[in-house]
Amino acid sequence: MIKILDYQTVDKRQIFARVEKVNSVTNTVTEILDSVKSQGDKALKYFAEKFDGVILDELKVTEEEIDKAFTLSDPEFVEVLETARDNIKEFHEKQMREGFQIQRKDGVVLGQKVLPMERIGLYVPGGTASYPSTVLMNAIPAKIAGVKELVMVTPAKKDGQVSPEILVSAKIAGVDTIYKIGGAQAVGALAYGTESIKKVDKIVGPGNAYVAEAKRQVFGKVAIDMIAGPSEILIVADANCSAVNLSADLLSQAEHDKMASAVLITTDIDLAKKVQAELEVQIEKLPRREIARASIDDNGKIIVVKDIKTAIELSNEIAPEHLELCVDNPFELLEEVKNAGSVFLGKNCPEALGDYIAGTNHTLPTNGTARFASPLSVDDFIKKTQYIYYTESALDNVKEKVELFANKEGLFAHANSVTVRKENK
């Protein structure tokens, strides 16, 4: 049963306590990455059979398989995917930025170019779970940014096929190439390259503990988006909220993972008790009730505070992945929110809207990293290059300043690169 805590009296360490079952996978992942680095495709096929129980003759998904996926998919769901794509595009196209140029009177030109990354690797979980939403949320911003080649990796099922919904969403989102590999070995293939797969510039997308550790280990060889932790939802609710709705929203994240965190902050103790009771009713109806039960019992909390101002202050300290403001006038509070991955305003805006169809991105910072990190966006798929131009007279105007600066740092060759131009006119 979820815990109810009185913020005025509780030990504040309980507010931030979180049960995390540490499973060290570091050495295993290192061995997998080393094998991929040295054996290439052979290692990928070996690990596919070992971990996924599938024998792969070919790693690449064919166009015929993608076409077949459309025939196997529910046409209504395909339409939903297309609606989601359009909404995601509309939101993320607003994130596009341009370069700039400064031209000074002395002939100096300074500027910045904004360039898309060349090759992006997208990891999409597979196996027992299928998340076409992950494909859309990661692929669409990359294509808007202008990425030339977007490569997706996802594990095949035991019959050697990839979920039709995953393939359809990849086609709709503009993925260029798909490979039937998953796990740490797929991350290794994207980072180091194999006979079949060229290495990429950046790897994005969620995965299990092995995938997260693999991304951590290859960082520096390639860029990564983030090391995502278990899902989180924090709801700030006033006394006029529905306990049924609040419970449903808390469970929408609790069903993700046994280590997921579902927290309600409210000003009303009676509402807190109603939600506590309602959660017990709703959990029993869930197909994933075992997962939701562990999440609610271990990491679920209802925190009773004296006023909404305190609730927002506490929320900013927690810095949640998802923040629902279930209050009558949510826009009045929006300005006070400083740390949150994505904010859901009002009582008709469950977090699931952001997961699927609203258009905002659902790849969000977790574990309090919303204090300094941002949702996945077009910015994750671009890089910036600076440029400088000086005329001879412009260099003459600053040469003594550059020489002085360089000499103060003991970098005499730096100073000399200016001096020689002065002496060899």
CA angle 217, 39, 181 (to 5 degrees): 65
- What 8-state DSSP symbol labels residue 318? H
Please indicate whether residue 414 is annotated as part of the active site. Answer: no
User: What was the pLDDT predicted at 24?
Assistant: 85
Write out the two tokens for 259: 């280590």
What per-residue confidence (pLDDT) applies to 422? 81
Q: Give CA–CA dist 362/356, Å, rounded.
A: 8
Q: What is the pLDDT of residue 423?
A: 82
Predicted local distance difference test score (pLDDT) of residue 225 = 96
* Contact (Cβ atoms closer than 8 angstroms) between residue 381 and residue 202: yes
**What was the pLDDT predicted at 130?**
81
Residue 20 pLDDT: 75
> Whole-angstrom Cα distance, residue 416 to residue 107?
23
Does 322 qualify as catalytic in the annotation?
A: yes
Beta bridge partners of 236: 265, 325
Cα 159 to Cα 59: distance, rounded to the nearest angstrom: 13
CA–CA distance from 353 to each of 32, 94, 135, 362 (Å)?
37, 19, 16, 10
Q: How far apart are alpha carbons 285 and 255 in whole angstroms?
A: 12
> What are the E-state strand segments in 99-153?
100-103, 109-116, 119-123, 149-153
pTM strictly above 0.75 = yes
Distance CA 195, CA 319 (A): 43
Catalytic entry in 213, 278, 321, 324: 321
106 near 376, Cβ under 8 Å? Answer: no
Rounded-to-5 percentages of helix, strand, coil across the chain: 45, 15, 35
DSSP strand pairing (202-204 vs 119-123)? parallel
How far is residue 345's CA from residue 24's CA, in Å, rounded to a whole number?
Answer: 38
The pairing of beta strand 261-266 with beta strand 177-179:
unpaired
Residues 6+ apart with CB under 8 A from 116: 145, 146, 147, 148, 381, 382, 383
Q: Catalytic residue, from 92, 256, 322, 362: name it.
A: 322
Give the residue among 255, 226, 235, 230 at the shortest CA–CA distance from 351: 235
Digit-by-digit pLDDT tens for the chain (425 residues) are: 999 999 999 998 999 888 877 678 999 999 999 999 999 999 999 999 999 999 999 999 999 999 999 999 999 999 999 999 999 999 999 999 999 999 999 999 999 999 999 999 999 998 666 899 999 999 999 999 999 999 999 999 999 999 999 999 999 999 999 999 999 999 999 999 999 999 999 999 999 899 999 999 999 999 999 998 899 999 999 999 999 999 999 999 999 999 999 999 999 999 999 999 999 999 999 999 999 999 999 999 999 999 999 999 999 999 999 999 999 999 999 999 999 999 999 999 999 999 999 999 999 999 999 999 999 999 999 999 999 999 999 999 999 999 999 999 999 999 999 999 988 77
Cβ contacts of 159-164, under 8 Å, gap ≥ 24:
159/54, 160/54, 160/55, 160/56, 161/65, 162/61, 162/65, 162/69, 162/126, 163/126, 163/130, 163/132, 164/68, 164/69, 164/70, 164/72, 164/73
